[in-house]
């Protein structure tokens, strides 16, 4: 794939991610949304680095539309964790798509918020409160990306 085509597809996925950031999934956190679905799909269909970038930008768009409720530095950390979750999905999706989905939901829904246990302002209470909403949001995003990717494997979109 040419660099120009890859850049155009990355731009399209970022745009879809920004649109998805406006579709919030109700929770006390205020930021779960359909922003990471294009990132997960991109990680599997285009490559890990492409999807990781899209997922990180998507989270920052969601955080911006919610007013950065956890502060900008914390949302930058969350964006990095979103990039990792998308990378995990992309690394495993080509061989084991269902395992990839399960791992991505686990990383984004449980492992990533576990980092906040170590931050004094958040702690265990934040983790316990965040896991259910993040796991549901992650499952919805990853599930959608998995369906798109499986369709893409049968009949390539690009």
27-44: per-residue pLDDT in tens? 887 778 999 999 999 999
Domain ranges of the chain: 3-154
Note the pLDDT tens digit of each residue in 6-19: 999 999 999 999 99
Fold of the CATH domain 3-154: Arp2/3 complex 21 kDa subunit ARPC3 (1.10.1760)
Beta-carbon contacts of residue 78 (< 8 Å; ≥ 6 apart): 31, 59, 63, 70, 112
pLDDT band at 26 (very low <50, low <70, confident <90, very high): confident
Note the pLDDT tens digit of each residue in 97-144: 999 999 999 999 999 999 999 998 999 999 999 999 999 999 999 999
The tokens for 1 are 């794939």
Segment (H or E) for 88: helix 72-93
């Amino acid at each position: 794939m040419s660099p120009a085509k890859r850049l155009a597809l990355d731009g399209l996925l970022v745009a879809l991610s920004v649109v998805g950031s406006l579709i919030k999934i109700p929770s006390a956190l205020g930021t779960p949304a359909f922003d990471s679905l294009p990132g997960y799909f991109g990680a599997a269909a285009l490559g890990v680095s492409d999807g990781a970038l899209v997922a990180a930008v998507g989270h920052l768009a969601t955080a911006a539309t919610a007013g950065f409720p956890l502060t900008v530095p914390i949302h930058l950390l969350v964006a990095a964790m979103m990039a990792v979750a998308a990378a995990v999905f992309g690394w495993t999706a080509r061989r084991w798509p269902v395992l990839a989905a399960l791992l991505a939901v686990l990383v984004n829904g449980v492992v990533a918020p576990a980092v906040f246990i170590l931050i004094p302002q958040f702690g265990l209470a934040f983790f316990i409160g965040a896991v259910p909403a993040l796991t549901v949001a992650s499952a919805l995003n990853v599930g959608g990306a998995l369906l798109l990717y499986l369709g893409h494997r049968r009949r390539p979109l690009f």
